[in-house]
Amino acid sequence: MKKTALALAGLATFAVAAPAQAATVIDLEEDAGTLTGEFTGSVRTAGAFSQMFTFFLPTSGTTAATITTIAVTMAGDIDFTSVTLNGQEFNLSANGFVEGGFIRLFTQPGEQTLIVNGTSGTNAGYSGVVTFAPGVPEPGVWLLMILGFGAIGGAIRYRRRKDVAVKTKFNFA
């Protein structure tokens, strides 16, 4: 009897496996020094959901992100319970037919993780945008850049003196 109960318990653990959650990669495109990417999510079944997105940043800087959803019917409404970027919470608007949120934070280079949690009706969707601006150069870099511009300006302004013929008279006694 014990063996049968243990075998059934073992089979039950495989029957109730948690759903796999693979992260969707956000593709960032460069435009005038900033990186921008869009993400979308759709929920097909009613109830709680959790979706994860990742993207890669080449250097440190400031990252801003927004997320929005607009419901056409009550059955397609999404209520965000939490949205985080690297563990930092988005500022979310109140629940309703139109919801959204935003965040702005300093990020380090490497992989970034965006997690969207909420409850939904059937056939609902949301979308968002991630924007990254690299940090300002260090003061030493600014100093070298300014000295370089000064040297270029000095080279442009400098004029060579024309050789002037000097006439001298020598008197020998």
On whether residue 172 sits in a domain, the answer given is no
pLDDT band at 18 (very low <50, low <70, confident <90, very high): very low
On whether residue 151 sits in a domain, the answer given is no
Torsion sign over Cα 106, 108, 110, 112: negative
Which pLDDT does position 5 carry in this prediction? Answer: 52
On whether residue 167 sits in a domain, the answer given is no
Domain range spanning residue 92?
Answer: 21-134
For the chain, how many structural domains are there in total?
1
For residue 59, pLDDT over 70 is answered with yes
On whether residue 154 sits in a domain, the answer given is no
- Contacts of 152 by beta carbon, 8 Å cutoff, 6+ apart: none
User: CB-based burial of residue 99 (10 Å sphere; 0-12 exposed, 13-18 middle, 19+ buried)?
Assistant: buried
For residue 2, pLDDT over 90 is answered with no
On whether residue 70 sits in a domain, the answer given is yes
CATH number reported for the structural domain that contains residue 116 in this entry: 2.60.120
User: CB-based burial of residue 100 (10 Å sphere; 0-12 exposed, 13-18 middle, 19+ buried)?
Assistant: middle
The larger pLDDT score, comparing residue 104 to residue 75, is at: 104
Which pLDDT does position 19 carry in this prediction? Answer: 47
DSSP secondary structure of 15-63? HTPPPP-PPEEP--EEETTEEEEEEEEEE-SSEEEEEEEEEEESS-EEE
pLDDT in tens, 83-134: 999 999 999 987 778 899 999 999 999 999 999 999 998 888 999 999 999 9
The share of the chain scoring above pLDDT 90, in percent, equals 45
Phi and psi for 157 in degrees, rounded to 5? -75, -30
pLDDT in tens, 127-168: 999 999 998 766 777 788 888 888 888 888 776 666 666 677
On whether residue 7 sits in a domain, the answer given is no
